[in-house]
Amino acid sequence: NAGVTQTPKFQVLKTGQSMTLQCAQDMNHEYMSWYRQDPGMGLRLIHYSVGAGITDQGEVPNGYNVSRSTTEDFPLRLLSAAPSQTSVYFCASSASGGSTDTQYFGPGTRLTVL
Amino acid sequence: GDSVTQMEGPVTLSEEAFLTINCTYTATGYPSLFWYVQYPGEGLQLLLKATKADDKGSNKGFEATYRKETTSFHLEKGSVQVSDSAVYFCALRKKNSNYQLIWGAGTKLIIKP
């Protein structure tokens, strides 16, 4: 049981490049989400999904796309990278969207945009 | 809007000292409250949680009590170890919240031997 996995661990992009951050979970969780973590700001929700085929925007969705074709995978796409997207990105999953539910996090992807 | 405020870090303590990390929140209704911990180079993991007023969450020697009257959820540990060095995040989730957690900025804890 690997939990939540993310690839790559580190990535450097040039402004304007696109890329996909991968996220997968093997716990059969319905709910998955993407956060970015910036110094002094805690975590901010980018996009989330309540099940395969269903996605919605979080607090800071601009510049990012997501899709959920399977329960296991939830990739995050940067369409045209900007320096403001330099951050650490975390994927998380949980069994349901209940208010008491525990979220399980991946190890993160550290992205630098030059 | 809803928010979570944590004490600024870093907090530096000697081993076996008593730890308190303050967390206060602003929210309507009765949210669930969480403490997550992030060890160096790792993702966040749940440390403890409380889902209603006066509940006490506890794990690994850490504990926090949901205080509705002071809208607080302070994290405490009686005797810290070097291995407790990490960043600690307080968060809330409202019922019917559309899945979103509201996070504090995090408090870095450094324990010196």
Which pLDDT does position B79 carry in this prediction?
Answer: 95
CB contact under 8 A, B31 and A48: no
Which pLDDT does position B5 carry in this prediction?
Answer: 94
Tell me: pLDDT of A62 over 90: yes
Which pLDDT does position B98 carry in this prediction?
Answer: 58
Q: Which residues contact A62 (CB under 8 A, 6 or more apart)?
A: none
- B100 against B60, higher pLDDT: B60
Q: Which pLDDT band holds residue B34 (cuts at 50, 70, 90)? A: very high
CB contact under 8 A, A31 and B4: no
Residues of A with Cβ-Cβ distance to B105 under 8 angstroms: 40-42
Q: How close does chain A come to B98, measured CA to CA in Å?
A: 7
Q: Which pLDDT band holds residue A41 (cuts at 50, 70, 90)? A: confident
Which pLDDT does position B97 carry in this prediction?
Answer: 60
Q: Which pLDDT band holds residue B99 (cuts at 50, 70, 90)? A: low
Could you report the per-residue pLDDT of B41-66, keeping only the tens digit for each?
Answer: 888 999 999 999 999 999 999 999 99
Q: Which pLDDT band holds residue B96 (cuts at 50, 70, 90)? A: low
d(CA A16, CA B44): 30
Residues of B with Cβ-Cβ distance to A104 under 8 angstroms: 45
Tell me: pLDDT of A14 over 90: yes
- Nearest Cβ partner for A100 among B32, B98, B100: B32
Both tokens assigned to B69: 């009257």
Per-residue HEC secondary structure of A74-93 comes to CCEEECCCCHHHCEEEEEEE
Q: How many CB pairs under 8 A join A and B?
A: 58
**Contact status, residue B6 vs residue B102, Cβ threshold 8 Å:** no
Find the residue in B nearest to A49 (Cα): B99
Tell me: pLDDT of A8 over 90: yes
- Name the average pLDDT for chain B: 92
Average pLDDT on B60-75 reads 96
Interface probe with A: pick from B87, B99, B101, most Cβ of A within 10 Å: B99
Find the residue in B nearest to A58 (Cα): B100
d(CA B78, CA B56): 15
d(CA A83, CA A94): 30
Q: How close does chain A come to B71, measured CA to CA in Å?
A: 17
- B26 against A97, higher pLDDT: B26
Q: How close does chain B come to A73, measured CA to CA in Å?
A: 18
Tell me: pLDDT of B95 over 80: no
